[in-house]
Structure 1
Amino acid sequence: MPAALPATPSSGKGHSVLQVPVPELEPFVLDRTRHYDTDYVSTDPGFVHAHVTALAPFLDAPLLTPRVLARVAEVACATASFDFTLEQVDTFPNGIVHLLPEPATPFATLTATLWDAFPQCPPYAGRFGDVVPHLTLDALSDDVTRESTRSLVAPHLPARCRAERIDLAWYEPGACRILRSWPLGCA
């Protein structure tokens, strides 16, 4: 049974994301989040900073109605949990260093299914052509390269993972939290 929706997020300051948590890499991603922006370090014990985005940005807080939440639950129920491995480090043209899940197809299918259910929410607001499932690790800078990131994350790799749920996360400075979670597949 999904958790109850907490107090309505304040509108205008944040955004919602449908994401698949990856607890196996939480220590690394949480450490990098602390390094870059402590405002996005969540105190919610259910919040997993390490994730593969399923659909973002999602809907504004006032639009997170019971009907919308029920539709996400239907998609989650129709999506079987699946295993994946994270090992390959890559970099997007914008400098985001990330891991590519293998296989990527279950994530791509989940994103396509959610987008079909919520056509008003194109992945990444339609800014990118093909959506590449990934887990963000870092961003290139004078001090950060793909190689330096690969060295830092190496003790955690390969990460053998299982996608077991979709989280509806709220991202807002000082208030990141989970609004709702749904298990993948129907029991």
Structure 2
Amino acid sequence: MPEEGVTALVVPVPEVDPLLAAVAARFPDAVRPLPAHVTLLYPFVPVDDQVVADLAEVFAGRPPLRVEFAECRRAGGFAALLPDPADGLSALIGELRRRWPDVLPYGGRFGTEVDAHVTVALNTAEQVAEAVEREIVPRFAPIRAELREVWLLVFRGGWQVHRRFELTG
């Protein structure tokens, strides 16, 4: 569980929520209690007015991103859907990393570069992640999505949306 006040930048992907619901119905402990999303940066910086203004500048004028989630990548007890194309999300992550170079994805736990993805199983047995990849994902994929906003989340006993930034182009 994150510490109070920890922040994250995520892109919600509601089109993937039915797949997460199917995973949770069969493997409740494999899914986090969050809507489907692509994490841009976590943990992020503490929220203040300047951070919000800087984020508004980063996201201003950016168009919605059209992606498809067809490929599932699995490693141990982790399974994730990869966006195609990924370049729009990678560009957003790159811009954020240039603005906040000391902020490493996942605190550097997985290195300095992490591919954009939607997690569909996490911290579970390898057999569960394999079943998710082999049995559940194919019933839903490919999933086409239009990514229209970025959420700045703050953990306050649970994740709460602090600010939404629209991608309207």
Report SS of the residue matched to 2:128. coil
Do 1:53 and 1:134's aligned partners in 2 also have CA atoms closer than 8 Å?
A: yes
Name the residue aligned to 1:26: 17
Deviations 1:103-143 (A, max 9, x none): 11111111110111122312221222332111101135154
The answer to whether residue 47 in structure 2 is matched with residue 64 in structure 1 is: yes
Q: Report % sequence identity.
A: 28
Aligned mates of 2:60, 2:70 — CA distance in 1: 28
Q: Deviations over 1:31-86 (max 9, x none)?
A: 65681289x63xxxxxx610011111112xxx311110011111111422110000
Farther off after superposition, 137-146 or 116-125 = 137-146
Aligned residues: 164
- Counterpart contact for 1:20–1:165, Cα < 8 Å: yes
* Residue of structure 2 in register with 1:4 after alignment: none
8 Å Cα contact 2:62/2:168 also seen in 1 = yes
Partner of 2:137: 153
SS of the equivalent of 1:83 reads strand
TM-score normalised by the chain length of structure 2:
0.83
Which residue in the other structure is 2:147 paired with?
A: 163
How far residue 150 of structure 1 moved from its aligned partner, in angstroms, is 3.5
Cα pair 2:17 2:35 within 8 Å, conserved = yes
> Which residue type is aligned with residue 128 of structure 2?
V
Aligned equivalents of 1:95, 1:143: Cα separation in 2: 8
Structure 1 residue 95 displacement after superposition: 3.4
Q: Which moved more, 1:127-136 or 1:147-156?
A: 147-156
Scaled by the length of structure 1, what TM-score is found? 0.76
Please name the residue that 2:117 is paired with. Answer: 134
Structure 2, unpaired ranges of 5+: none
* Cα drift, residue 181 of structure 1: 0.4
RMSD: 2.5
Matched, 1:55 2:55: no
Structure 2 CA distance for partners of 1:68 and 1:86, relative to 1, 3 Å: same
Q: Give 1:4-153 correspondences, 5 Å limit.
A: 12-13=3-4, 15-30=6-21, 32=23, 35-36=28-29, 41=33, 49-59=35-45, 63-92=46-75, 95-129=77-111, 130-139=113-122, 140-141=124-125, 143-153=127-137
